[in-house]
Structure 1
Amino acid sequence: MSRLGSWFRGATPKPSANPSPAGSQVDLRAQEIRLMEDAMTSAAMIMNDDIDGAEERLKKFDSTFHSLGMSVCIFMRSILGFEKAIMTEASNRLTDCENNAWNEMKKAQKDAGTANENDERIYPPGSEYALVMAEAQLMSAIVAVLHESLTEGIKGFYKLRKAFITLDGIMEAEIAYLKKKGFQPDGSESKATSTPDDNSDDADLEFVDADESHSGAQTPFQYEGHLDGKLKDLALDGDEKFTGSEEKLAAKSGFEGGPDSDLFTDPVDIFIHSGVNMCFGVLLLMISMVPPAFSRLLSIIGFKGDRERGVQMLWKSSRFNNINGAVAGLMLLAYYNGLLGFADILPSEEDVHNGAVVGYPKARCAALLASMRSRYPDSGLWRLEEARVKGNSQDLYGAIEILKNNTSSKMRQVSALNNFELSLDSMYVQDYSGMRDNFLRCVELNDWSHALYYYIAGCAELENYRNAYHAEKKDEAKVQRHKKRAEELFRKAPTVAGKKKLLARPLPFEQFASRKIQKWEERSKALKIDLVDAVGVSPTQEMVYLWNGIKKMQGPDLEKAYAALSWDRLTTSEEARNKIKAETDEQAVQDVCRAAIVRSLGRFEEARDLLEDVLVLDRLAFKGATKDDYPLPAAHYEMAVLAWAEVLKPEVRKSLSPKTADDAGSESSGSDEKEWIRQKMDDCQSWLDKVAKWEAFVLDARIGMRVQTGMDTIRWYKREHGWATA
């Protein structure tokens, strides 16, 4: 029996002695559509920075769709502000929404028409409510993982599995309908649907994994279904190849035609199609970004993410002018401008132009952003993304200008995000007073990590102190003012650390900051100097490296950052300075930060020399309660980035690839260059594999996400060039 079969068990309506008139069914359908469209229109106000207005309008009706809209409101408040009380409220509201959707879905199944009528549907009866339930489960999972409790986090991953199965059933129905209509996706070797003879373990799974309080068989906790094959079977984003008499309609298939498709014209079908692509895209993308160090958590839910397919499905949903399309667009821009903004190992612009899904499509993102800004002209979210685009294009000063003019959002959460981005950009351009003030404003705007905000504000004041200390015309009052303020901020940070946790673990950056300050306190006592004078290599530039601001900086700012890492910036005696320099982890921090800067400046051999000084160090040198434990794995990662950078730079290939006695344009030389590129790819993969398998360290998740993106890129490149291995 097909996977959908168990969904229909018991759902076939019994003949009634007094059947409802057809007209009443039409009226009910029309009412459902009106409620759904009103709820979506109301919820879309969120994307225009008007959560209050959205909630006020959504309160007017109590349909399941309005319940979903209210849930989206509280969900957006919770993830944008990271406030515990709001997260708890979001969890409760999402649970209510999920239960309501379950009841409505069961009612729709019971009230379904005849089999002949159902055969003309794209989706089985009740699919719209199944989608609402999956959206609630997906949002619940995200909130749970962001919650402090490990128990809640595990429940969240279980919710992901449930949403996965629900969406799987809806997508299966869509594929079956398209095939029935003659749109035969290419790739018949993959299983698109289960058959009555299918002996797979999940052939009889419930379409929806019921809560424990509901009757019916439960799905196994470990899900290893066939979605991967199903999605491979379903080509996406312009790659469709159809057969049959309707080949001329291929361009208008439901997968390419977007809102104008001949297939997706019914409002309920549009809601389902755009919503499934949005939800599935978010789910696949989110799981794919889990760093290698968290691989054990993935085993809980038993399936893998797929970054390429997730991104493609989000692009598909973003074409629709509804709340689903807007959320998909926001996720895409957050992914490209956020995650990929931190990544180094990405396809070239030429590769992206030729279809590399794992890369950063600048033109396409610009068009998407323009579309979203026209749809929601009052929203600061889209202006924030515009600033991120500027930053990723190495126009930090242009980004700062946009952010400074984007502080008047009606949503405090949007203002908080905008201010945090402004804080980071101020740090990258080394505007230390602006950096200090903006990070302190973060304390006022949200509750996520006050310890981190105070710590980085202290780093900014430290740089102001060092500037004043080394000024040609020293102003002693100014020197002492900055010194006192820096110490106050550093000492404040540990007092507010630990109030936020992720899966019962301290936030990595809070743990990092607390260890740093403890190290400086111990050093100040040992050397008999003040806390601020005991700080070693620039902690500001260290933070720039860890946030990969180096990627956004141009030459002059990079040179200034390199100088800021000098030991001459310290404010203590030469004897004390030499003792600080002698600490292995301290020197390694400087070498890694400088290597990243000179690599960004194109000085690859200099970068390699600095990294090799780190790579020869013993791991034991980085062990200890206050030791910086990330420089050694970071150095391995930087070696991978160097190998990739050399692949992307034609002038580097020309100078470093093997030479032959033949002319440079000869077939032999071309073969040598290809072999050299493949060797560099293997080197890159080897360095990444080492970091992926590294033992736990404080910032393993942050570096791990960059590693994961790099591994996706290498996997894509090898596949494209026929170098992939089984």
Structure 2
Amino acid sequence: MSRIGAWFRGTAAAAPSPTASQADLRAKEIAAMEDAMAGASMIMNDDIDGAEERLRKGDSSFHHLGIGVCVFMKSILGFEKAIMVEASNRLYECENTAWNEMKKAQKEAGSAEERIYPPGSEYALVIADAQLMSAVVGVLHESLTEGIKGFYKLRKAYVALDGIMQAEDAYMKKKGLRNLSKDQIASSSNSISAGRGNANDDTDDTDLEFVDADEAHPGAQATQTYEGHVADKSNPPAKELSKLSLDTNAAPRPSSTKVGIPVVNNASPDSDIFNNPIDSFVHSGVNMCFGSLLLIISMVPPTFSRLLSIVGFRGDRERGVHMLWQSSRFDNINGAVAGLMLLAYYNGLLSLADILPSEEDVKKGAVVGYPREKCSALIAQMLQRYPDGTLWRFEQARVLGNSKDLHGALRILKSNTNSKMRQVSALNNFEMAIDSMYVHDYPDMRENFLRCIELNDWSHALYYYIAGCAELELYRNAFHAEEKDETQIQLHKKKADEFFRKAPTVAGKKRFLARPLPFEQFVTRKIQKWEERSKELGIELVDAAGTSPAEEMIYLWNGSKKMQAPELEMSEKALSWGRLTAPEEARHKIKAEIDEQAVRDVCRAAVARSLGHLDEAREVLDSVLAMDKLAFKGPTKDDYALPAANYEMAVLAWAEVQKPELRKKADKADEEDWLREKTEECQSWLDKVAKWEAFVLDARIGMRVQTATDTLRWYKRERGWTTA
């Protein structure tokens, strides 16, 4: 793995003693870096304890970063507050160690050696890496203050990474090696100047003036070497925050600071450009960090845009995805983390989305779509590198789920429960629980969600609630069975009641940016609604449930997208009013509630659409859109149903755009007009949802809207309807 000997053979023989001494220091640094990276890579092979043990034997900033990665992985996989605090502390130590080593590297750097990156860039990358992880932990923390600090750390990481990328770009241009193809990023000409001030003034990328602006190190002086920051100290942080933008289409902001979206170099890991291990580390690391940053910010739903405006952040999904793919080509911890980010994005976020490019468009290079074949190839590559990595098999199952092979996904998940990392076991188990729900295996669904309570403390309220949903369906099955078994009826009814009543009692223990978790709010309101209904109608709590809450959960996780016809037909039956268990008079009153009707119809429309019955879906949604908005106002009303219906109309319009057989028979000019009309129809429905007033699950619906907006922006650009 190491190329230390090959790197130094060409320089050590002719060098005088001081240079030889410098070469020894570089060799020591590279050895420490490679040892730390090898240790950190053990995480990806399901040996996080072994990784920590090995990393604690070293004292370099690379080893500190590796330990930080270990704790960070535990914190984001498990969402546990104590581990988040530990992660923050470890990453802060890493920042300080790297700062000192960066200063030392700059001071001792030789002037004769030609470099891609300025002296100390590898340590600046470590600092930015630690800041990026600290920011993610801060945003996931329960405190709004910590969240805002996290966004500020994102800003600092961005500025440092931008400086390194500018240096790389300048070197590539100098050597004539700059490689920016059409397949890389379609909008590069618009995006490079974003946030840099006047693009016409940026004529000399080799003019790199890096000035320290880190408030954690008072007294530091401006130097001619790389400090990892490009901010001008004359501008206070708040002013600088307001200037920063990651929006590739935003108008340039006046600024003396050169901060822009980086040009992506597409050089191979085997290229002579990266025969220096430090350059390989920096290049793969910057692409991983910057790509993650751009991607994460691009996924923030519209409801959080006000918070993000504090730091002026707007992401670039296409560029971020491309940078992550570039990093994933490198056989090191940076490449592995980039691979995980890509798979989490594709198999997680995009599994919730409906408005995406077609598979054909993805094969032609549509970056905003879901590249199933590339994901499978990436997982195969990672399993070769890390054959014991349960995380990769977990992602393998998710690819199958997204390919509508839920039973195949479950087979992998059930054989992947022996991870040494409890956090990975929790993820694997949650995916089993969700997939069991999609295939309507209610006993497994119940057991898996109850096991989530043992493995993870993120949202016990949600886990109890969905376990209750499984028991409710079993109760309804027993209640409506041709041969009734009173013992089974009462058993499942009692269990459902127990889980439903337990859920609100454990809600509110977890918060996100000082706000209650949306799903816990949803659960609490739902149970309160049923309790009020049961008192009003004189029936028991379980009988007061209306539209199948399990099917409602399937809709909210977009499970119908992963189902085949048999599962979808089972969902249709589960959504029948005939499944209710309340007496006839009470049943009639439940069915008459407007928001109850709306929830059921939104779920039915999604199922009909997934079965290809678009006209039926539109007819069902029209009945929801005709409902009075005021009927959804109230502390226990299901207020998400109306904006969800608007979103579903956007999905139907996009389905017509994507399916040639649905287009009207006309000449090519008329067809183009029709496509444009349908695309604008889709956009108008999305705009309505994006501007909707706050509702309980607005962030969840908002993520779908954000992805859809990116897709339409890509589609319009591809058709030549816009240059944005």
The answer to whether TM tops 0.5 is: yes
Match of 1:102 among 99, 102, 123: 99
- TM-score in terms of structure 1 length: 0.90
1:384 aligns with 2:394: yes
1:147 aligns with 2:141: yes
The within-5 A match list for 1:217-616 is 217=233, 219=237, 220-222=239-241, 224-225=243-244, 236=264, 255-616=265-626
Partner of 1:246: none
Partner of 2:35: 38
Cα offset, 1:171, TM superposition: 0.3
Structure 1: 4+ residue segments shifted above 3 A: 184-200, 202-209, 218-221, 223-236
Aligned pairs, number: 674
Partner Cα distance (1:233, 1:461) in 2: 51
1:172 aligns with 2:166: yes
Cα offset, 1:23, TM superposition: 2.0
Q: What is the aligned-residue RMSD (CA, Å)?
A: 2.2
Cα offset, 1:175, TM superposition: 0.3
**Against the structure 1 CA distance between its residues 208 and 197, is the aligned structure 2 distance closer, same or farther, given a 3 Å change threshold?**
farther
CA-to-partner distance for each residue in 1:484-515, whole Å, 9 max, x for gaps? Answer: 00000000001100000000000000110000
Cα offset, 1:227, TM superposition: 6.6
SS, match of residue 263 in structure 1: helix
Partner of 2:50: 53
- TM-score in terms of structure 2 length: 0.90
CA-to-partner distance for each residue in 1:17-45, whole Å, 9 max, x for gaps? Answer: xx982222111110000000000000000
Report % sequence identity: 71
The aligned amino acid for 2:482 is E
The aligned amino acid for 2:582 is T
Cα offset, 1:209, TM superposition: 3.9
CA-to-partner distance for each residue in 1:315-369, whole Å, 9 max, x for gaps? Answer: 0000000000000001111111111111100000111111100001111111111
1:637 aligns with 2:647: yes
Partner Cα distance (2:669, 2:174) in 1: 48
The aligned amino acid for 1:178 is M
Cα offset, 1:671, TM superposition: 1.2
Partner Cα distance (2:692, 2:246) in 1: 31
The aligned amino acid for 1:652 is L
**Against the structure 1 CA distance between its residues 292 and 506, is the aligned structure 2 distance closer, same or farther, given a 3 Å change threshold?**
same
Partner Cα distance (1:233, 1:150) in 2: 28
Match of 1:68 among 62, 65, 69: 65
Partner Cα distance (2:365, 2:202) in 1: 37
1:675 aligns with 2:673: yes
SS, match of residue 478 in structure 1: helix
8 Å contact kept, 2:547–2:577: yes
8 Å contact kept, 1:179–1:185: no
Cα offset, 1:185, TM superposition: 5.4
8 Å contact kept, 1:224–1:303: no
The aligned amino acid for 1:106 is K
Match of 2:108 among 104, 107, 111: 111
Instruction: In structure 2, list runs of 5 or more residues that go unmatched.
Output: 1-15, 181-187, 221-232, 249-257
Partner of 2:74: 77
Cα offset, 1:446, TM superposition: 0.7
The aligned amino acid for 1:287 is I
The aligned amino acid for 2:705 is V
**Against the structure 1 CA distance between its residues 316 and 612, is the aligned structure 2 distance closer, same or farther, given a 3 Å change threshold?**
same
8 Å contact kept, 2:245–2:314: no
Cα offset, 1:221, TM superposition: 3.9
The aligned amino acid for 1:222 is L
**Against the structure 1 CA distance between its residues 362 and 703, is the aligned structure 2 distance closer, same or farther, given a 3 Å change threshold?**
same
Partner of 2:702: 704
Partner of 1:26: 23
8 Å contact kept, 2:461–2:520: yes
8 Å contact kept, 1:162–1:209: no
8 Å contact kept, 1:185–1:233: no
Cα offset, 1:670, TM superposition: 1.5
The aligned amino acid for 1:712 is D
SS, match of residue 309 in structure 2: helix
Partner Cα distance (2:694, 2:436) in 1: 31
Partner of 1:214: 218
8 Å contact kept, 1:130–1:208: no
Cα offset, 1:206, TM superposition: 5.0
**Against the structure 1 CA distance between its residues 378 and 482, is the aligned structure 2 distance closer, same or farther, given a 3 Å change threshold?**
same
Cα offset, 1:212, TM superposition: 3.8
**Against the structure 1 CA distance between its residues 195 and 570, is the aligned structure 2 distance closer, same or farther, given a 3 Å change threshold?**
closer
Partner Cα distance (1:507, 1:134) in 2: 29
8 Å contact kept, 2:244–2:312: no
SS, match of residue 21 in structure 1: helix
Partner Cα distance (2:657, 2:469) in 1: 36
1:135 aligns with 2:139: no
Partner of 1:691: 689
Cα offset, 1:195, TM superposition: 11
**Against the structure 1 CA distance between its residues 570 and 226, is the aligned structure 2 distance closer, same or farther, given a 3 Å change threshold?**
closer
SS, match of residue 132 in structure 1: helix
Partner Cα distance (2:138, 2:712) in 1: 32
8 Å contact kept, 2:165–2:263: no
Partner Cα distance (1:98, 1:164) in 2: 15
Partner of 1:248: none
The aligned amino acid for 1:703 is I
8 Å contact kept, 1:165–1:207: no
8 Å contact kept, 1:191–1:226: no
Cα offset, 1:231, TM superposition: 10
Partner of 1:15: none
Cα offset, 1:560, TM superposition: 0.8
SS, match of residue 273 in structure 2: coil
CA-to-partner distance for each residue in 1:651-688, whole Å, 9 max, x for gaps? Answer: 111xxx2x5xxxx5xxxx11111111110000001111
**Against the structure 1 CA distance between its residues 160 and 235, is the aligned structure 2 distance closer, same or farther, given a 3 Å change threshold?**
closer
**Against the structure 1 CA distance between its residues 235 and 204, is the aligned structure 2 distance closer, same or farther, given a 3 Å change threshold?**
closer
Partner Cα distance (1:223, 1:35) in 2: 39
The aligned amino acid for 1:670 is K
The aligned amino acid for 1:537 is T
The aligned amino acid for 1:60 is K
Partner Cα distance (2:45, 2:702) in 1: 34
Partner of 2:156: 162
8 Å contact kept, 1:454–1:489: yes
Partner Cα distance (1:496, 1:524) in 2: 22
Partner Cα distance (2:510, 2:246) in 1: 36
Cα offset, 1:226, TM superposition: 7.8
Cα offset, 1:235, TM superposition: 5.5
Partner Cα distance (2:485, 2:343) in 1: 46
The aligned amino acid for 1:52 is D
Partner Cα distance (1:629, 1:80) in 2: 30
